[in-house]
Amino acid sequence: MNLPGDCMLAARDGLAQDDVNGGAARPAGLPGLRYTRSTLRGTPQAARLFPHQGHDTYMTTNLETIPVNRNDGSTATLGDYAGKVRLVVNVASKCGLTPQYEGLERLYEDKRDAGLEVLAFPANNFKGQEPGTDAEILDFCTTQYNVTFPLFAKISVLGEDRHPLYTALVQAKPDATGEGPFRERLRGFGVERENPADVLWNFEKFLIGRNGQVVARFSPDVKADDPRLVAAIDAELAR
């Protein structure tokens, strides 16, 4: 099965299983990637994979007070956008999914007056597909895609140095809508996550409602005009 562009082709080249799993062997009893918090609930693996088991949302006082840096280096929090619907996306400039910037900008322009914010967090976790500095990333986004939505400083969304914001997001929503086919395509190129709740690839999307709760999560290949994503956003905007 073909994978979408450079993003997937890079995953194929020189990728060993210990690179994907950080050198760690897959835990016993976890042979595949179909496990979710629901199917693991009450098992020894659940406590490690989902330490906040039972909490389907990460409350406002936690999520919205986590410090992040804007692209210009100034400090911010998601609480700066309190009362709005927020779509948090980990982005990359050298990925086959990078053209999604265009759709995200169009979505932002269409719905920002209704209360939507698209918050982009560049990350270099997936085969080095976001290698630039924050200044270079800003220049790329504005010149190539005319991006006007908020762009933040580069962070890590995976591994031991994962930013606390993404730890909170993943714990709030371990499962992503539409992830099955994309996960299987990645597996064909040797890409698997030891923890099935981890961010799968660039352009994964977390939707946060006006009340600060994570209400949905979408697979990287769910585009900005996907009816499932648009419906979820519209439902939150209507609240």
CATH number, domain containing residue 158: 3.40.30.10
Per the domain annotation, does 216 fall within a domain? yes
Tokens of 227: 């009816």
Q: Across the strands, what pairs with 188?
A: none
Q: Give dist(CA 8, CA 11) in Å, integer.
A: 5
CA 29 to chain centre: 26
* Range from 14-18, 55-59, 70-74, 100-104 carrying the lowest mean pLDDT: 14-18
pTM for this one? 0.77
The catalytic residues are 95
Q: Give dist(CA 193, CA 126) in Å, integer.
A: 12
pLDDT at position 15, please? 37
Q: Which residues of 186-212 are buried (b: 16+ CB within 10 A; e: fewer)?
A: beebebbbebbbbbbbbbbbbbbbbeb
Per the domain annotation, does 30 fall within a domain? no
pLDDT at position 220, please? 98
Q: Count the domains in the chain.
A: 1
Domain extent for 155: 5-13+57-237
Residue 130: HSE in the Cβ half-sphere, 13 Å Cα cutoff:
27
User: Element (H or E) spanning 214, and its range?
Assistant: strand 214-218
Angle at which helices 134-145 and 100-111 cross, to 10°: 80
Per the domain annotation, does 72 fall within a domain? yes
pLDDT, tens digit, 9 for 90 and up, residues 127-155: 999 999 999 999 999 999 999 999 999 99
pLDDT at position 88, please? 99
